[in-house]
Structure 1
Amino acid sequence: MPEQKYQRIQKELMAGAIALGCVFMIGTVWYSLVEGWSWEDAAYMTVITLATVGYGETHPLGNRGRLFTIALILMGVINIGYIVNRFTEAVIEGYFQEGIRLRQQRRIMESLSGHYIICGFSRTGRQIAKEFRAEGVNFVVIDSEVESVQRAQTEGYVVFQGDATLDDTLLKVGIERAMCIVAALPSDAENLYTVLSAKTLNPAIRAIARASTEEALQKLQRAGADAVISPYITGGKRMAAAALRPQILDFVDGILTGTDRQLYMEEFLLDPAFCPFVGQSLQKAKLRSQTGALVLAIRRLDGNLIGGPTGDTVLMPGDTLICMGTAEQLQSLNQVLGPIVSKKVRKPKNS
């Protein structure tokens, strides 16, 4: 149920309660100041009048007082009837349960940190969520469609219903604390707006976007997307690779995705404040002999990529090591390199 409906019924119940309070104050002030009763008697007369319990008059009333009492009864009945009507609607349609769910959702969103954001829960978004779950990462899904939100909830994902192109929506899912955002919305324009908003709110976030056309791909790159994926281009390349190099493609797929794989690939950021091997060569660091993990490539801080580094390659501050190994080997490498790396290695859960 949309949050706007819950907020509407909440405001209507609050307005009804305030109106009833105003009627009570009017009745009390009238009986006290006009009729000359004590405040206790005036409040008591107002309560039994609004409650229509049928008690007699606290003190004798003249024609003017009885006319006011009739008006007070009518105002009370109208207000109480309105409140009962709104309350009944809230109970029948589950607004109170929705309120509890929204509060729980808000607490979850506020607790998220270093998480991933998936914008759009279409076929692409569902596959991304499946891979993220297999990797054991924290993520939240954003979608504006009720059906997609319900499907994400059914599958057990943390989901927020809203427009991912709006700053307010991104702020509610903790964009400032997020590590990465994936714009997988059906429209290239929506993905472009999402990337622009995300980069404005959190310039350090990694933005991945989906593009349907070559022109959209270029615009998303200019907007600041760190990686832009075109399903058509990527699909064509993979189909060609499956035809020309099927064994290589199966091997690469086996270490990048899936829950039953034996080898994994991971990246590690070398922090000079914690990593004891900065300034040493790979041969001297002995990462392979200590952990069993294989260093496939090194990305320098300036963006230069060293593929198949030799033992003489020196580890520099800010280097990103691209490594391959079993889950245990990569976890061991994570511990050897220091407590702070780009992300901790996670062993996926078997499904």
Structure 2
Amino acid sequence: MSFVRKLKKALGWEFRNTKPEYNLNPIIYSHLKPFRVPLVLVQLIMMAGTIGYILIDDFSILDAIYQTGITFTTVGFGEIAPISEAGRFFTITLIIFGFATFTLSTAILIDAVIKGNLFELYKERNMLYKIARLRNHFVIFHHNEYTAQLARQFKLNHIPFVVVDSRDDMEEISAEHNYPYYVTEEAFTEKAFLKSHLSSAKGAISLSKNISDNITLIASVRLYEKELGRTPLLIISNAETQYDKDRLKKLGADKVVAPPSLMAKRVSAMAIRPDMENVLEEFLYKPDTPIDMEEITVHSDSWVVNRALKDIHLRDRMKVSVIGITEEKGRFIQMPSAETIIKENCKLLLVGNQKGIAKAKRIISQILKPGDL
């Protein structure tokens, strides 16, 4: 490894690979193959014309190239120097071949534009290069009203995402709903995973109203991540019934949302505690909220294991409160006291501002106790 590369790595300046995982260039080149014959003919005629004018009328190389060019393209500029009778016969032959070549090239170009999809391929390649720059994004499979609403929330919270659907009018749909990145492919195929750069994503979201589509997608994503050997993706899906919700969780979904059940719970909350629902809307769902809530796992090698909550100074140093602890065996401790001991592999439910929670996560993940604590 060179010194410059080592220095970049030490400073964290190494550039990520931003090339798409799915290469469209071979397909584009296959569409450009018909143009090879006209291009070769143009080169051969230019070479033959230049050599002909040099041998027949003793032109200089530059004059011969220029005379061949204006003759071959039939622009009608005339002779740049006196040409012999043999030279004029050669010029007529060159004009005929030039006209035939341009006619052939025009026919091939029109055929490629009418029958081919070069412009669509170039637009898709540009989209894939943009997607390849994303990291820790979400891939949302299947476009519907759920996807449109989720995309709106993601944009408000500056969460990158890619929408995948097999509809032919995905370009129009993405323009209508302001999807910044989209892929037109069948959701559960490897091609869709490659184009959406699922390997560098944070999670996959399947929002089809058809439970079979969600089942197929979850199974395909889990198999794909095993092939990559990467950490498990966060998979979120939707289901219409509790039975389907349980099925999707057993198949590998991390979170499953049941819209009817969720709507019933929220309406119930509005009816019973309308003021509390307003608080949730104000502090948890708004993109610019000063308060955030997050659950983090305390790993066995963390320095906070077997220490009391008061010893990690989350409240006084980071303005973060622990409002709940889920122990490894599933027991939930509500509003733990300052004397509560933190056990390994438990989950802490934190409430505070985003900056404070991020700092708390960094401190809790360390093996050694930070010096300033």
TM-score when normalising by structure 2? 0.67
Name the CA shift for 1:146/1:315 in 2 (closer, same or farther; >3 Å).
farther
1:285 & 1:211 partners in 2: Cα distance?
40
Name the CA shift for 1:313/1:152 in 2 (closer, same or farther; >3 Å).
farther
- Aligned-pair identity in percent equals 19
Q: Aligned AA for 2:196?
A: V
2:234 & 2:197 partners in 1: Cα distance?
14
Instruction: State yes or no: 1:85 paired with 2:113.
Output: no
Instruction: State yes or no: 1:189 paired with 2:207.
Output: no
1:249 & 1:70 partners in 2: Cα distance?
82
Pick one of 149, 165, 171 that aligns with 1:143.
165
Report 1:1-351 matches (<5 A). 10-11=28-29, 14-24=32-42, 51-52=73-74, 60=86, 72=97, 75-82=100-107, 85=110, 95=119, 99=122, 102-145=124-167, 149-153=171-175, 156-163=178-185, 164-203=187-226, 204-259=232-287, 261-270=289-298, 276-300=303-327, 302=328, 304-308=330-334, 309-325=336-352, 327=353, 330-338=354-362
Q: Aligned AA for 2:355?
A: Q
1:186 & 1:58 partners in 2: Cα distance?
80
Instruction: Report if the CA contact (8 A) 1:211-1:231 is conserved.
Output: yes
2:245 & 2:304 partners in 1: Cα distance?
39
Q: Aligned AA for 1:233?
A: S
Instruction: Report if the CA contact (8 A) 1:195-1:207 is conserved.
Output: yes
2:331 & 2:72 partners in 1: Cα distance?
79
| Count of aligned residue pairs for this structure pair | 325
| Cα distance per residue 1:149-184 (max 9 Å; x no partner) | 445446654221323222211222221111111111
Any stretches of 5+ residues in structure 1 without a counterpart? 1-5, 342-351
Instruction: Report if the CA contact (8 A) 1:255-1:264 is conserved.
Output: yes
Name the CA shift for 1:206/1:42 in 2 (closer, same or farther; >3 Å).
same
- Per the TM alignment, residue 13 of structure 1 is displaced from its structure 2 partner at its CA by 6.5
1:42 & 1:12 partners in 2: Cα distance?
35
Name the CA shift for 1:236/1:85 in 2 (closer, same or farther; >3 Å).
same
Instruction: Report if the CA contact (8 A) 2:38-2:105 is conserved.
Output: yes
Instruction: Report if the CA contact (8 A) 1:145-1:161 is conserved.
Output: no
**CA RMSD of superposed structures (Å):** 4.5
| Cα distance per residue 1:229-286 (max 9 Å; x no partner) | 221222233333333343444444444312364532122344566x543331113223
Name the CA shift for 1:15/1:277 in 2 (closer, same or farther; >3 Å).
same
